[in-house]
A and B are shown apart, each in its own frame.
Chain A
Amino acid sequence: MGFHLGKPILTMIFLTGGALVLAKATQQADHRADVEVWCFSDQHYRAFTGSGQPADYVSPLKRFESETGLDGEIKLIQNRALNTRLGTMFMSGTKWPELPDCVEIEIGSVGRYFRPPVDEVGLLPLNDFIERHGWKGKIVEARLAPWSKHGTVFGIPSDVHPVMITYNDELFSQAGVDLASSATWDQFIDNCRRYEKYWRDHGEVRRRAFELYQDNATWLLTMLLQRGVNVIDDHDRIYLEDERVVDTLVTYCRMLAGPDSMSVATSGGRDAFAIDLTRGYVGAMFTPDWRFKYLKDAAPALRGKLKVMPLPRWPDSPYRTSTIGGTMIGIPRNARDPKASWKMIEQLYLRPEALHEMMKTTYVLPPLKSVWDDPLLKEVDPYYGNVPMKQLIVDMADEVPPRYVSPASSVAEGELSMVLIEALEHMRTHGEPGLREKCREWLARAAASTRRRIEHGSFE
């Protein structure tokens, strides 16, 4: 049997080829803004672009365009997609115009970008910009730590995220407990136990005092940070075996497991914790500044019933707060015009006008100290019992301990989560005897495992 193309097939090939050539010839070049910013936060996107804002709102983007004569564009990209794209671009050495000129990165994702040696990190060092433009000393020093490697700053922080405790004052008052009087963690635990006993005696067995996670070390890390412990620093030094980690872990287990526990593990998630608080299943919870807005939106029934207190102290630490979460903005090393990118960063993250607008709609405090005396922050908040809620956040902000991030941070935190689960299981089955020794053993194993991973992937 013979094959031949035949006229119909030849015609199709010619037509397809012709169509492709025509399409290529008539293709218009995509318009690329002079400065393109990738952001993953919907809230930031709206504030930067003015989307959904009143007509008289002058967005930072418009201000940038009118002051520089350049055109800018903010692209909202889902966080995981943003990191996948950016990571791939850094790996392949992609340059302008595919590469953004500025990019926002969330604290949980930034570690991966710090794997290469400092001078090969895909982001541009910003130390010179910060000094030359007079921002040194004006930004909370501790908040530059997560975005730095070996002293080189790769990102400007958008937030401070101090952590406090929010509690249902109505329920605690009914139980005759003044939770805010708890100066230390031991007193706090005692007060929470009294609260639970009161409600248990009144038939409310599901009314637990404090929310903690049992499946991950998020709040344990928050407590450790308050105690001045980073489980790993930006030089990849591991502190999992520090005696303060052992002690905090044992305290955490005492709070969450065993016969005298005073905490409950909620499902997590924005609505779940608000529902638990509204229904009275949880009396108090850790509250970083971003959670205040979530609570206000998701738990309107608690208006006027909630109060806020600083974290109780550890005997060996001066801090009454901690920090969790965070976002930065940086400039890719291969960006076309870093100076223009920096001007955009100043407009978005450092200009008081932009920050004022941001503070209006959220409780997130910017790390720029000069805006902390904004009258807006002194306004009383009816939802939180007519106290100047934002001022309370400011009072805590300067105390926020530095948090370091390295490529191995997520590994160390994952290992700590595994140890936490083992420790809670031990507490449930054997009680506290022997727990401390076991924790030391598990933490040593976790440190060794983290060390192996660091050594495996180190490019230093």
Chain B
Amino acid sequence: VNVPVTAATGRQRLWALQARLAPYLFISPFVILFAVFMAYPLVRSLAMSLYQTAGARTRFVGVRNYEFLFHDRLFWLAAFNTVGYTIAFLIFQIPAALLLAMLLNGKAVRGRNLFRFAFFAPSLVGQVFVAVIFGLMLSNNGPINETIRLVWPSAEINWITDWRMARPAVVIASLWLSVGFGMIYFLAALQAVDVELYEASNVDGAGRWAQFWHVTVPGIRPVLTFMILTGTIGGLQLFELPYVLFNGPGPGGAGLTIVAYLFSWVEAGELGTAAASGWALAAAVIVVAIVQARLMRESKDEL
């Protein structure tokens, strides 16, 4: 009489056990991958930033790598360039993307889909490809200079090798790459703005400028915030475009960004200073993101 009862209890226990374990089993692939490829490298790189390396040899140096960074001229040059590029991207990229989106949002434009694809297409190819293309286009005897020479025959504009032109070259190439990407987001946001709000503002006698500030901007604010945040983080992490365009740090270090600075330490085999550079960048990104989020929240509250 007791046997079936015992068997039933055993099966119930098994079911209870697997019901308890199943959630852990389901999330275990993510947890394992996250631990191995995210958490461990993060902790390891933080520890590594307190060491110096040469070949197989390491030595503990405490915070000396960080001290070195803050006294290194090249680190500050890289920081200056990175911040400069980020500001330039935000100043030019966001208004240009918004302008394009507003133009292509108008029903009067013919072949809108073609233009949308044409502007968006560069963002599909990536920074390395854009750097190679612009390296050719901006070379001494490249198509851009030859076009300029049609009106100014003795022009010698060294976009790639003159430190004064190198930074504008990066900004131009980057704009070509990213304006279309921003445009697509803004286009989606513009289409979501309630048309009745425009109609109401028309009734109230608002001009185009007033409509833009008081209807369009509040309507696209979430996307605008997203674009500013991702644009800032993207700018702070800039690397491939100037690195490939100049095949190194560029004239006078004009293409040296924080990530390129970090990479130069990796190439030199000094992983400790490279890790410290990475953490300095991470700290900067976190601070910028927090400040930006706070500013956005404050301006939203004011509205």
A176 interfacial contact with B, CB 8 Å: no
What per-residue 1/0 map shows which CB atoms of B263-303 lie under 8 Å from chain A?
Answer: 00001111101000000000000000000000000000000
User: CA A77 – CA B55 in complex, angstroms?
Assistant: 21
B105 interfacial contact with A, CB 8 Å: no
User: CA A4 – CA B21 in complex, angstroms?
Assistant: 8
Whether B56 pairs with A418 at a CB distance below 8 angstroms is no
B232 interfacial contact with A, CB 8 Å: no
Residues of A within 8 A of B111 (CB): none
Whether B269 pairs with A115 at a CB distance below 8 angstroms is yes
Shortest Cβ gap from B131 to chain A (Å): 14
Whether B269 pairs with A91 at a CB distance below 8 angstroms is yes
A21 interfacial contact with B, CB 8 Å: no
User: CA A215 – CA B165 in complex, angstroms?
Assistant: 11
Which partner residue on chain A sits nearest B138 by CB separation?
A267
**Out of B19, B158, B248, B269, which one reaches A214, CB within 8 Å?**
B158
**Out of A3, A407, A449, which one reaches B22, CB within 8 Å?**
A3
B194 interfacial contact with A, CB 8 Å: no
User: CA A122 – CA B269 in complex, angstroms?
Assistant: 12
A275 interfacial contact with B, CB 8 Å: yes
A216 interfacial contact with B, CB 8 Å: yes
Residues of A within 8 A of B154 (CB): 205-206
B253 interfacial contact with A, CB 8 Å: yes
Whether A215 pairs with B163 at a CB distance below 8 angstroms is yes
A430 interfacial contact with B, CB 8 Å: no
A5 with B273: in contact, given A91-B53, A116-B55, A456-B68 (CB under 8 Å)? Answer: no
User: CA A149 – CA B72 in complex, angstroms?
Assistant: 27
What per-residue 1/0 map shows which CB atoms of B160-177 lie under 8 Å from chain A?
Answer: 111100100000000000
Whether A421 pairs with B251 at a CB distance below 8 angstroms is yes
User: CA A354 – CA B183 in complex, angstroms?
Assistant: 59
A265 interfacial contact with B, CB 8 Å: yes
A414 with B249: in contact, given A87-B269, A266-B140, A457-B54 (CB under 8 Å)? Answer: yes
What per-residue 1/0 map shows which CB atoms of B60-78 lie under 8 Å from chain A?
Answer: 0000100010011110000
Residues of A within 8 A of B161 (CB): 213-215, 265, 267-268
User: CA A92 – CA B55 in complex, angstroms?
Assistant: 8
B15 interfacial contact with A, CB 8 Å: yes
User: CA A5 – CA B22 in complex, angstroms?
Assistant: 6
Residues of A within 8 A of B71 (CB): 452
**Which residues between 443 and 460 of chain A lie within 8 Å of chain B, taking CB atoms?**
449, 452-453, 456-457, 459
B237 interfacial contact with A, CB 8 Å: no
A115 with B270: in contact, given A205-B153, A216-B251, A452-B72 (CB under 8 Å)? Answer: yes
What per-residue 1/0 map shows which CB atoms of A138-161 lie under 8 Å from chain B?
Answer: 000000000000000000000000
Whether B163 pairs with A421 at a CB distance below 8 angstroms is yes
Q: Count B interface residues, CB 8 Å.
A: 47
**Which residues between 259 and 314 of chain A lie within 8 Å of chain B, taking CB atoms?**
264-269, 272, 275-276, 279, 281
**Which residues between 25 and 46 of chain B lie within 8 Å of chain A, taking CB atoms?**
25-26
B110 interfacial contact with A, CB 8 Å: no
A97 interfacial contact with B, CB 8 Å: no
Residues of B within 8 A of A269 (CB): 139
A281 with B141: in contact, given A214-B251, A215-B251, A459-B54 (CB under 8 Å)? Answer: yes
User: CA A425 – CA B158 in complex, angstroms?
Assistant: 14
**Out of B56, B156, B273, which one reaches A456, CB within 8 Å?**
B273
Whether A90 pairs with B141 at a CB distance below 8 angstroms is no
Shortest Cβ gap from A416 to chain B (Å): 12
**Which residues between 87 and 144 of chain B lie within 8 Å of chain A, taking CB atoms?**
139-142
Whether A276 pairs with B19 at a CB distance below 8 angstroms is no
User: CA A453 – CA B75 in complex, angstroms?
Assistant: 12
B222 interfacial contact with A, CB 8 Å: no
**Which residues between 225 and 241 of chain A lie within 8 Å of chain B, taking CB atoms?**
none
B257 interfacial contact with A, CB 8 Å: no
Residues of A within 8 A of B20 (CB): 3
B18 interfacial contact with A, CB 8 Å: yes
A93 interfacial contact with B, CB 8 Å: yes
User: CA A267 – CA B141 in complex, angstroms?
Assistant: 8
**Which residues between 89 and 132 of chain A lie within 8 Å of chain B, taking CB atoms?**
90-93, 111-113, 115-116, 120-122
Residues of B within 8 A of A205 (CB): 153-154
User: CA A425 – CA B15 in complex, angstroms?
Assistant: 79
Which partner residue on chain B sits nearest A13 by CB separation?
B25
Residues of B within 8 A of A214 (CB): 158, 161-162, 251
Which partner residue on chain A sits nearest B73 by CB separation?
A449
**Out of B23, B54, B55, B162, which one reaches A215, CB within 8 Å?**
B162
B250 interfacial contact with A, CB 8 Å: yes
Whether A4 pairs with B18 at a CB distance below 8 angstroms is yes
Residues of A within 8 A of B141 (CB): 267, 272, 275-276, 279, 281
User: CA A269 – CA B142 in complex, angstroms?
Assistant: 13
User: CA A15 – CA B42 in complex, angstroms?
Assistant: 34
B218 interfacial contact with A, CB 8 Å: no
What per-residue 1/0 map shows which CB atoms of A204-218 lie under 8 Å from chain B?
Answer: 011000000111100
Whether B140 pairs with A115 at a CB distance below 8 angstroms is no
Whether A91 pairs with B55 at a CB distance below 8 angstroms is yes
Shortest Cβ gap from B287 to chain A (Å): 26
Whether A276 pairs with B55 at a CB distance below 8 angstroms is no
A248 interfacial contact with B, CB 8 Å: no
A2 interfacial contact with B, CB 8 Å: yes
User: CA A324 – CA B59 in complex, angstroms?
Assistant: 35
Whether B57 pairs with A116 at a CB distance below 8 angstroms is yes
A251 interfacial contact with B, CB 8 Å: no
A362 interfacial contact with B, CB 8 Å: no
Whether B253 pairs with A418 at a CB distance below 8 angstroms is yes
User: CA A205 – CA B74 in complex, angstroms?
Assistant: 38
**Out of A5, A264, A452, which one reaches B18, CB within 8 Å?**
A5
Whether A91 pairs with B22 at a CB distance below 8 angstroms is no
Shortest Cβ gap from B265 to chain A (Å): 9
Shortest Cβ gap from B122 to chain A (Å): 23
- 23 A/B residue pairs, CB under 8 Å, sorted by A: A4-B15, A5-B18, A91-B271, A115-B270, A214-B158, A215-B160, A215-B162, A215-B246, A264-B156, A265-B161, A268-B161, A275-B141, A276-B141, A417-B252, A422-B252, A449-B73, A452-B68, A452-B71, A452-B72, A453-B72, A456-B273, A457-B52, A457-B54
Knowing that A113-B55, A216-B248, A267-B142 touch, tell me 17 more A-B residue pairs with CB under 8 angstroms: A3-B23, A4-B15, A91-B269, A112-B267, A116-B55, A120-B56, A120-B57, A121-B55, A122-B56, A205-B154, A214-B251, A265-B158, A266-B140, A267-B141, A267-B160, A272-B140, A456-B52
Nearest 7 CB-CB pairings of A with B: A215-B251, A3-B22, A215-B161, A116-B55, A267-B139, A115-B54, A267-B140
Chain A residues within 8 Å of B, Cβ to Cβ: 2-5, 83, 87, 90-93, 111-113, 115-116, 120-122, 205-206, 213-216, 264-269, 272, 275-276, 279, 281, 407, 410, 414, 417-418, 421-422, 425, 449, 452-453, 456-457, 459
